[in-house]
Structure formats: C-alpha cells, structure tokens
Amino acid sequence: MQITITARHFELTDPIKDYADSAMRGLKKYFDHIIVAEMILRVEKNRNIAELNLCVKKVNFVAKAREQDMYTAIDSVIRKVERQIKKQVGKMKRHHSNNKVALKELGKVEIAALNIIKKTINPVELDLDRAIDEFNKRDNSFFLFRNTESDRYSMIKKIDGGYEVIEIQ
C-alpha cells in the first residue's frame, strides 16, 4: 500500500503524520487490497479538515471530515471510510456467495444435452429430528419430507460435518 500524507496551510508535525499513517495502515484489517491511500490535511479558518482517498481494485473510497482538532478529524475520516469498506465487503460477499454462483452456472446449462431421469417422490410427514434419523438410515444424497413443524416441504442434505435443511415454499 502506497501512503501519501499532504498538509495544506499548516506545518505537518511528526506526531500528526505518524498518527495519520498508523490510522491508514489500520484500514488494512478490513480490506487487504488497498493500492493507494492518500490523506489530505488542511486548516481553513478555525476548522481542521481531513480528506481520505483510497484506491482499491475497481473501487475508490472518498471521505471528508471537519472537526475542531486535527486528531479528531483524522479519526472521523477513518471511521467514515471503515463504514464504506465494510459496506463494500458485504456487497461483495453477498454477490459472490456460493448459492448465487451455483445458480448462475445452472442457468447456463443446456437442458437438451442432459440425460434427464424423472422420479416421483411421495414425501412423508416428519419433524426435523425424525427426518434426520430417517435420512441417516438411507444411502441417498438428499431426503425430501414434509416438515410437520413448519408445514412446508423440506429437503435435507449432508454438508461438512452437519446437515443443510432447505425449505421449499
């Protein structure tokens, strides 16, 4: 990460520079792929203004804070960028979740090229605990049943060290 700290209309002291530098390096815990971090500190009349620009692959984060104290302005601008980063990371996680990727790949498959086997299943009415017991007795990759607790059709399948229950609406 390339860090730049610029001071306008005042002398940048070492304590302020070190404080801003460590604050920007602290952003790395939220997002590893920060390419450039640029902080512009300036004084206008009796206000201290801190502006932070982060360049990340495909995304730029910009925040500005005005406070009475320069240290408070730096803290405030860092908090604003942290919120932006957390929001962006959440969007990326939702967009790239396994379920969505799997659904996209299924949409690309040509049905004409598939060998389709049609089966008729009569789901039994069970509660979740009994359904898991019944699933363990069989050698299937999934188990379909009508959940008596939620009164919906549900499917159980094994995942790493546990079970996944999918309710069908």
pLDDT in tens, 81-91: 988 888 887 77
Cα 141 to Cα 122, 144, 157, distances in angstroms: 17, 10, 6
Residue in 119, 145, 117, 118 with CA at minimum distance from that of residue 131: 145
pLDDT at residue 20 in the model: 93
49 and 43 Cβ atoms separated by less than 8 Å = yes
pTM of the model: 0.55
Give the contacts of 22 (CB within 8 A, at least 6 positions apart).
none
Helices (H) and strands (E) in the chain, counts: 4, 8
pLDDT at residue 108 in the model: 41
Please tell me the CATH code under which domain 121-169 is placed: 3.30.505.50
pLDDT at residue 155 in the model: 86
Cα 65 to Cα 4, 24, 75, 165, distances in angstroms: 17, 15, 9, 47
Spans of all domains in the chain:
2-95, 121-169
Strand 47-56 vs strand 34-44: parallel, antiparallel, or unpaired?
antiparallel
pLDDT at residue 156 in the model: 86
* Low pLDDT (below 50) residues in the chain: 99-111
Give the contacts of 17 (CB within 8 A, at least 6 positions apart).
5
Measured in whole angstroms, the distance separating CA 57 from the mean position of its chain's CA atoms is 16
Give the contacts of 80 (CB within 8 A, at least 6 positions apart).
52, 63, 64, 65
Distance of alpha carbon 164 from alpha carbon 141, whole angstroms: 11
Tokens matching residue 31: 């997002």
Domain 2-95: what homologous superfamily?
Ribosome hibernation promotion factor-like (3.30.160.100)
